[in-house]
Chain A
Amino acid sequence: MRKTLVFTLLLALLSAGCIGYVAADIYPLRNQVAVQEMTEGAYSGYGNVGDVSATAGLTATLKADYYKAMNWKTEIQFGSVLPNAETGYHLQFPVKKTTNYLRERNDIDIRITVEDVVDNSVFAYLAEGLEPGQTRTEKVYLKDFAEYYNTDVDILFPDVTYTWRPSDTTVDNKTEEALKQLFDTNFLFPLGDNVSVDAHGDCHVQYGPGYGYGINTSSDTFGLNIEETFLNDRVYFTFNRKGESYRDLDVSHLPLGYGIYCLTVPEDGSQPELINVCSLDLGVKILKLTADGSGNILAYMVENGFFTITVIDSSTNSVTQCLQLTEFPSNSPSWATYEEGGVIAVTLAHKIETRQIILLTADENGRYELHWNLIIPSEDSRALTYSDETNKEYSYDHAPVMAWNGQYLAFGLSEDHWVNFDLALYDKNGLAYSGRYNTSLNIWTVQPDGDLPLTLEWE
């Protein structure tokens, strides 16, 4: 009997011990992310270049997740052959489900639409003389009835959203009403001669005559290709005259003219204001609008074939500098920018043999001046392009991140679906160091964070 008792107790202890052992064995592995510098041969063509000591003081933060449930944030401190990595880990379970209609903040959308540009009653004639059950349809050119498109607008500040549609008969508050009026009076896009709708009239057996119009392909709604940046209670924005679904938008009727607009929506509820802070030529192509962290708004543009930066002082809303950087190749090169603490860096990845890095630094008066203009041969252009050699360009969403320490401009470029990255340091002479770093999370189904997988920071 005692044997049975001892045996049972041993079994019970064994089972508890097994479960405990499993926990003790696997759970500590959760944050033990190893970062390894890949050496020549591991990936052909990715051998390291230069002295790794140049990276001393640089920290890379790499975020990765497994279906948003297991989340890792690894801080990698460089400066030695074996980088020092510390990882934070948290499990999000059950996973928070996000829905598509939850939009990011700091966004402005303007859509141009024929919705409600004309009152339905003008089509009443189509229902006249119809017998019950009969219908009549007619293609109607809106130019005969109205002059301008309507706009529907969404403005999403960090804490407040303003949105209205042409069909809205009421708005939520006075601010929104004032905004609607501002947009209705200042964003006047004339209806083209060929913009038509399918007007129809009918006579219902029970309800009698009815009429209205339906949108057809020639009168479709389209969203403006907008670039914007938010600064406190202001949003600076502009739009390109060519978009995915439209081209050569007629901006000649805009009362404020075509340009970069500043919309101020005071938090105290006072009257919103819309001004044009920088008029633009009709041929300009807007690449990006952003704030530099020093009170300036930077507009990256292609103007007359040149990559230019227009600097707008947000305190006076006046243009302080127009910098023509370099010729912008006509073959739509990939590009990326970096702005922080009085430094602007621009990289261009041409589809030809060279890459380019342009660095601007601010003088004591806060005016930007050229610091470098480096032409980088493609064999030294580490982290300036997408790592995969079969795909030599990067998209805007997959551009390198940068950090400047006064001597080196560090570039980091993570891969799309794998948790590893390229690191490259450039100085005034060109490439100073490059390395490829592989993490132990670089395995199937663990993905880099979708928004900003990699950031770089100097001490």
Chain B
Amino acid sequence: MKQHLSVFILMLQSIRNKLLPILGAVIAADCIMFTLTARKYLWMEDIIWKGRISLIFCAALFVLTYVLSTSMAGNSRQSYTLQRLALPGRTVFCIQTLVNLTALLLLWAVQLMTILLLCKIYLTRQLASADHSLDFCEQSVFLVFYRSRFLRNLFPMESIIRWMGNLSLFVLLAVFSAKAACRQQSSRKIQIEPLLIAAIIGMGSLNEIEIGYSDLSLPVFSVAWILIIWRTLSKDGPYMDQESTINTGYKKQEDPAATPEELEVMK
């Protein structure tokens, strides 16, 4: 169990220093664009649309996906430590997926929270203003979460199917990023699949596509794909999937200097 926890923490360490700047950038960009656009437009959905808040989210999602997919690149110290721990491949894959999912959920939450706070501050100012107090009400924030396509897709309220669609896509993205990270152990080639899934989520959040959002096809599709990936993973092998093992074999890494924490894990 201790080994599992250690692996989890090692993986987190590998993305921590990149995750926090990404989230900070999202918050900063949202604030700047919202404030600038609010000078030109009155309605919050217009501000969100014209302020390109959805594009900020999409860009952040892309960058984060890339970071997650390359977090265990072959020459990283964490990667080396993981190989020496020799945990079963599926176990490492699951832990990596959990770490990825945590990071993605964090981005989701930060985006939602930032926009909610911005809307609330904006509404407070408008209600206090004599010019537009009759154009807004306390419900305006609730309404904007439906009126804005981006927010409606990101936070679909009572639409359970859409929640399932969103969650299944995030899980699928976490899985693909984990798979890409596994492959990066043996190959430096950039994996395209997680970026494609990120693109689908991004387009979904922009409401450019509606595929699977009106029925259960998206969750079913995601689960099926995850099962396929699961089967391709080596059950007891090292930290990489069967395909990588077959194609590239186990490539021993050079032994970089281990950090004190990694040494503790290896003990």
Chain A residues within 8 Å of B, Cβ to Cβ: 1, 4-5, 7-8, 11-12, 14-19, 21-23, 25-27, 29-30, 32-34, 42, 66, 69-70, 91, 93-94, 438, 440-446
9 closest residue pairs by CB, A with B: A18-B109, A15-B109, A440-B137, A29-B142, A18-B113, A15-B106, A15-B105, A91-B158, A26-B142
Chain A residue numbers with a CB within 8 Å of B8 are 5, 8
Chain B residue numbers with a CB within 8 Å of A7 are 16
Asked if residues A15 and B147 are in contact (CB atoms below 8 Å), the reply is no
Asked if residues B159 and A93 are in contact (CB atoms below 8 Å), the reply is yes
B201 to chain A, nearest CB (A): 16
Q: Nearest residue in B to A72 (C-beta to C-beta)?
A: B139
Chain A residue numbers with a CB within 8 Å of B109 are 14-19
Which interface class (under 10, 10 to 19, 20 to 34, 35 or more) fits B?
Answer: 35 or more
Chain A residue numbers with a CB within 8 Å of B106 are 11-12, 14-15
Q: How many A-B residue pairs have CB under 8 A?
A: 103
Chain A residue numbers with a CB within 8 Å of B6 are 1
Asked if residues A29 and B147 are in contact (CB atoms below 8 Å), the reply is no
Asked if residues B102 and A1 are in contact (CB atoms below 8 Å), the reply is no
A312 to chain B, nearest CB (A): 48
A41 to chain B, nearest CB (A): 12
CB 8 Å contact bits of B72-109 with A (1 = contact, 0 = none): 00000000000000000000000000000010011011
Please, could you name 16 A-B residue pairs with CB atoms under 8 Å apart, sorted by A?
Answer: A1-B261, A4-B16, A7-B16, A8-B12, A8-B102, A12-B106, A14-B106, A18-B109, A19-B155, A26-B116, A26-B145, A440-B137, A442-B134, A443-B143, A445-B147, A446-B143
B254 lies within 8 A of chain A by Cβ = no
Chain B residues within 8 Å of A, Cβ to Cβ: 5-6, 8-9, 12-13, 16, 43, 102, 105-106, 108-110, 112-113, 116, 134-143, 145-147, 155-159, 162, 214, 261, 264-265
Q: Nearest residue in A to B162 (C-beta to C-beta)?
A: A93
Q: How far apart are the CA atoms of A240 and B7 in the complex, in Å?
A: 85
Q: Which of B13, B102, B108, B112 contacts A4 (CB 8 A)?
A: B13
Q: Nearest residue in A to B101 (C-beta to C-beta)?
A: A12
Q: How far apart are the CA atoms of A21 and B13 in the complex, in Å?
A: 27
Q: How far apart are the CA atoms of A445 and B45 in the complex, in Å?
A: 12
Asked if residues B143 and A66 are in contact (CB atoms below 8 Å), the reply is yes
Chain B residue numbers with a CB within 8 Å of A19 are 105, 108-109, 112, 155
B140 to chain A, nearest CB (A): 7
Asked if residues B5 and A5 are in contact (CB atoms below 8 Å), the reply is yes
Asked if residues A27 and B157 are in contact (CB atoms below 8 Å), the reply is yes
B169 to chain A, nearest CB (A): 15
Chain A residue numbers with a CB within 8 Å of B162 are 93
Asked if residues A443 and B136 are in contact (CB atoms below 8 Å), the reply is yes
Q: Which of B109, B134, B156 has the most CB of A within 10 A?
A: B109
Chain B residue numbers with a CB within 8 Å of A30 are 139, 142
Asked if residues A22 and B155 are in contact (CB atoms below 8 Å), the reply is yes
Chain B residue numbers with a CB within 8 Å of A21 are 113, 116
